[in-house]
A = this chain, B = another copy of it.
Amino acid sequence: MSKPRPIEYADGSREVRAVYDDIKATRNVPDVNNFWKYLANDPKTLKRTWESIKEVMAPGALDPLTKEMVYLAVSVTNGCGYCTASHGAAATKAGMTPQQFAELMAVVGMANETNRLANGYRVPIDPAFEN
């Protein structure tokens, strides 16, 4: 096995193309992102991941913009460069304004800071939070 390579639509198996088609139709885009082209090296994971994403990111009790911003917050916290770029674009497409992005980053930053202050000071959970 060498470094993973992307699989373009024309080179995909019928199973891969079916997933690509569904992504393109669901998102109304002319082509799928690199993420899917690399996952296509493993058609089962491609299919499972796409179906999970489609279910999880569908509108529900949380709207699509909120979900994309949460996705971005997690990706930034984990330092995933690809995911920060792709979900930054997705959140923008879902309507995130520059001001919303700015506030999102401010919250992500503070959460990462206070998570460590809580760890460092070894703060015990308040009894009220245990109910």
Residue numbers of A with Cβ under 8 A of B are: 1-4, 33-35, 38-39, 41-42, 44-45, 48-49, 52-53, 55-57, 60-62, 66-67, 69-89, 92, 96-126, 128-131
Q: Which residues of B contact A96 (CB under 8 A)?
A: 1
A114 to B35, Cβ gap below 8 A?
yes
A130 to B85, Cβ gap below 8 A?
yes
A60 to B128: give the CA distance in the assembly, Å: 28
The 3 closest A-B pairs by CB, nearest first: A42-B102, A74-B111, A113-B113
> Are A119 and B76 also in contact (CB < 8 A) when A42-B105, A103-B62 are?
yes
15 contacts between A and B (CB under 8 A): A34-B126, A35-B117, A38-B122, A39-B117, A42-B103, A49-B117, A56-B109, A62-B100, A70-B70, A71-B107, A73-B73, A74-B108, A77-B77, A83-B111, A86-B126
